Structure 1
Amino acid sequence: MGASGSARPAPYLHIARLLRDRVVSGVWNVGDRLPSRAALSAEFGVGDNVVRRAQETLIAEGLLEGRAGSGTYVRMPRRRGVLSRTTSGSRSPAPAGFTGTWEARSIAKVPAGPEAAVRLGIGHSDLCVVTMYEFLTDSQPVLLATSYEPMTVTGGSIVVLPEGGPLAGHGVVARMGHLGITITRIVEVPRPTRLDRGQAHMLGLATGAQATLIERTHYADDGRAVESADWVVPGDLWDITYTIAPNPLVT
């Protein structure tokens, strides 16, 4: 028979309780930055991984948030937003109705890779412009996207960089229109996913938190896929709504 008595909680749960108590008791207030992970490890006499798991537990509870390049903070309650997906699309890189700001970084001549290549109908090694977006509210990233555009479509033009040149910030439809390409169809495929460590760190959420991956692809009137993007929509922050116009010919 096993030893009697209750089992002790895992070390990270014990540390999570100690950290939680400091927030609840007012030792740390909303917006306060926690001591570094190394400092907490030394204080509690545990390893760095134990403190990390304790912090991730409290991030998942909504009590703390991580800020990329800054540290871990007592979290201000974050309101859920509504991510509107409509048949009319958006005239900017941001989703319809999004009122925040965004930051973008583009890299040219990057191989498409297997997943983007399938959606774009090109070879895995065919070159693309890859643009990483962070959409922010109150300076905090709340939504992530990565866009792929074949160099054979935009290469050598003034719109080769989505966020550079005279049409920066105008969105895929306007930029392709400048090249004489008419977008007639946008296909979105939502899939359940979980945040990896890098995504969670940027969003201030827990690694493994639930999210929706929306694979969105723009098609031209000749059937070509001219852009495809992966949107990472954290479930803690967004409700996704689809507005679909009725077909008057369908009764």
Structure 2
Amino acid sequence: MPREAPYLEVADALRARITAGEWAVGDRLPSRARLAEEYGVGRNVTQRAMDRLIVEGLLEGRAGSGTYVRKPRERMRMVRSRHRERRGSSPFRADMKERGKAGTWEAHSQARTPAPAHIAERLALQPGDLCVVTRYEFLADGQPVQLSESWEPMSLTGETPVVLPEMGPLAGAGVVERMRSIGIMIDTAVEIPRPARASQAQANLLGISLGDLVLVIERTYFATDGQPVETADIVVADTRWEVAYEFGVDPG
């Protein structure tokens, strides 16, 4: 296996020392020169390592003073629940409202897009069948929260007013409400969460660093007859959001 870049190794070592309590919140770290000597690397390597920990929220730089251990950033909780589609509006906007934040998003749809093989399999289509793909950037108080790439078969929506999720009479209403308007009743959503590392494009959009931990949620909605009607890949920055799942319990 190839070794990590030297600055990542130094960052991992410093992170471990902070976690172990060698430096407490408010303590000043040794100088770049001293750390470079300790780890046998150049000062630019220790600077990149410290910059990474600043981005992660473990350290803070103070002009003319040095680099200090800062109080860790609070991770907010994002609840995935079977009730999230029963609120009469966008599930994301409702989730953010519960946390005192304004939920907004930017979206771009492209119709008549051939389904790649992995999407076709998830939607029970043939590879190349035409879909609408919509790419979203979700924001809370103007700050990035999550990304999503959603696919819907044009065989279901192509001749209807809701073919484009963010245009028409139900723009922004959510998949369940839009499908209900054309007689398709959704009763099941399946989500498969997987940890991953942020690509450069994802990092740029989420305001994190290349390779940072993200949670990728593969979500598929199913109609009452078992037909998959939409599938999406949702990407959440792990350093900022903790994803929790809420389940109902049958008391009987």
Report if TM-score (shorter chain) is over 0.5: yes
Letter in 1 for 2:78: L
Letter in 1 for 2:205: M
Aligned to 2:201: 198
Task: Give the SS at the match of 1:98.
Answer: helix
Where does the alignment leave 5 or more consecutive residues of structure 1 unmatched? 21-54, 65-76
Question: Which TM-score applies when normalising by structure 2?
Answer: 0.71
Identity rate, percent: 44
Contact in 2 for aligned 1:56/1:207 (Cα 8 Å)? no
| Alpha carbons of structure 1 residues 10 and 93: separation in structure 2 relative to 1, 3 Å | farther
Pair 1:59-2:91 in alignment:
no
Pair 1:137-2:169 in alignment:
no
Alpha-carbon offset, residue 139 of structure 1 = 1.8
Paired with 2:47 and 2:187, the residues of 1 have a C-alpha distance of 54
Pair 1:126-2:158 in alignment:
no
Question: Which TM-score applies when normalising by structure 1?
Answer: 0.71
Alpha-carbon offset, residue 137 of structure 1 = 2.1
Paired with 2:104 and 2:161, the residues of 1 have a C-alpha distance of 23
Aligned to 2:158: 155
| Alpha carbons of structure 1 residues 211 and 96: separation in structure 2 relative to 1, 3 Å | farther
Corresponding pairs, count:
199
Aligned to 1:107: 110
| 1:57-108 alpha-carbon deviations (Å, 9 max, x no partner) | 64345669xxxxxxxxxxxx86422111111233425275123211111111
Contact in 2 for aligned 1:142/1:234 (Cα 8 Å)? yes
| 1:8-52 alpha-carbon deviations (Å, 9 max, x no partner) | 4146424437xx6xxxxxxxxxxxxxxxxxxxxxxxxxxxxxxxx
Paired with 2:39 and 2:90, the residues of 1 have a C-alpha distance of 55
Paired with 2:43 and 2:249, the residues of 1 have a C-alpha distance of 56
- RCO (CA 8 Å, sep 6+): is it higher in 1 or 2? 1
Task: Give the SS at the match of 1:188.
Answer: strand
| Alpha carbons of structure 1 residues 15 and 186: separation in structure 2 relative to 1, 3 Å | same
Letter in 1 for 2:79: S
Contact in 2 for aligned 1:80/1:239 (Cα 8 Å)? yes
Alpha-carbon offset, residue 234 of structure 1 = 1.1
